[in-house]
């Protein structure tokens, strides 16, 4: 009987080790879900956007869509989430254009025609390359708003913590990817296994720009509580917008988010003026 129990325990431990090993070696395939197709924005009804390629210091070429700002208006650097591509997010691009904002939609490495493979370090290089491209274009940091969506909030926080920006806007953000992984895979030692950690909670205190966070209170992917914790750790001025019944995908589908960012920027400019 004891021998049988030991055999069952060894089998269970072996299965657990196999699962943990699979998760470790395939974690980036589980985290990143790119659509690799390069899409022309005109095919989505977007006009006035220039398709560009931004080189990175490590030799990748990033596809991006750029539309200049109207006189005196800010430019939005948009950093998208882990699934699909910028081609699946046309509504906000069009809304930003409508209100006169400039827009730079960046395709992460491995997404939407960009070369390379995504990783935390790679995405941070990409975000910095896009920031530098805008600086070279003559965009002043006090006219640059960084908008991060879901996974993209991690690089957005890191960028704003190390570079001057006019404002930081985060939709469905997390404290760290470890906390997200623990929520979904609490039975695994994710703190030991995870490669791409995106520790926003450790960096948000170094962001000195006005901050707005939007999060759906029914988000099953990135828990609402993580967005609130990140907000509470951030310095003022800041604003938190809770979307009643909002899920992870639903809050991205309409231009409501873009409108909230526009209202926030207007309030910031009026306060500064």
What are the structural domains, with CATH classification, of the chain?
32-272 (3.40.50.1820)
| Per-range mean pLDDT, top range of 29-33, 35-39, 54-58, 140-144 | 54-58
When pLDDT is averaged across residues 13-19 and rounded to a whole number, the result is 66
Q: Write down the mean pLDDT value for the chain.
A: 88
pLDDT tops 70 at residue 254: no
The pLDDT assigned to 255 comes to 59
Tokens of 59: 């030799």
Residue indicated by tokens 């991060």: 148
How far apart are alpha carbons 98 and 68 in whole angstroms?
12
Within 13 Å, how many C-alpha atoms sit on residue 263's CB side? Answer: 13
- What pTM was computed for the model? 0.91
Using the structure block, give the residue that is written with the tokens 């960046």.
106
CA 239 to each of CA 46, 76, 232, 242: distance values in angstroms, whole numbers, following the listed order: 30, 18, 10, 10
What the block records as the tokens of 158 is: 């890191």
Please give the Cα distance from 164 to 14 (Å, whole number): 50
Q: Per DSSP, which regions of 97-233 are E strands?
A: 102-106, 144-149, 167-171, 211-216
């Amino acid at each position: 009987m004891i021998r049988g129990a030991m055999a069952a325990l060894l089998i269970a431990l072996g299965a657990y080790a196999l699962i943990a090993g699979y998760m470790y070696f395939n974690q980036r395939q589980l985290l990143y879900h790119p659509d690799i197709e390069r899409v022309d924005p005109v095919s989505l009804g977007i006009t006035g956007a220039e398709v560009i390629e931004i080189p990175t210091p490590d030799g990748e070429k990033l596809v991006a869509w750029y539309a200049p700002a109207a006189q005196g208006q800010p430019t939005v650097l948009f950093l998208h989430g882990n699934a699909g591509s910028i081609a699946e997010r046309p509504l906000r691009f069009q809304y930003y254009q409508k209100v006169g904002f400039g827009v730079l939609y960046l395709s992460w490495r491995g997404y939407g025609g960009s070369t390379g493979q995504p990783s935390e370090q790679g995405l941070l290089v990409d975000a910095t390359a896009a920031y530098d491209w805008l600086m070279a274009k003559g965009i002043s940091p006090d006219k640059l708003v960084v908008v991060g969506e879901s996974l993209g909030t991690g690089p957005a926080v890191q960028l704003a913590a190390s570079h001057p920006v006019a404002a930081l806007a985060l939709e469905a953000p997390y404290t760290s990817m470890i906390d997200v992984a623990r929520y979904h895979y609490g039975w695994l030692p994710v703190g030991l296994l995870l490669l791409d950690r995106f520790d926003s909670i450790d960096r948000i205190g170094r962001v000195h720009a006005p901050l707005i966070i939007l999060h759906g209170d029914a988000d099953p992917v990135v828990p609402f509580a993580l967005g609130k914790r990140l907000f509470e750790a951030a310095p003022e001025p800041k604003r938190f917008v809770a979307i009643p019944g909002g899920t992870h995908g639903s809050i991205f589908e309409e231009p409501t988010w873009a409108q909230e960012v526009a209202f926030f920027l207007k309030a910031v400019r009026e306060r500064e003026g």
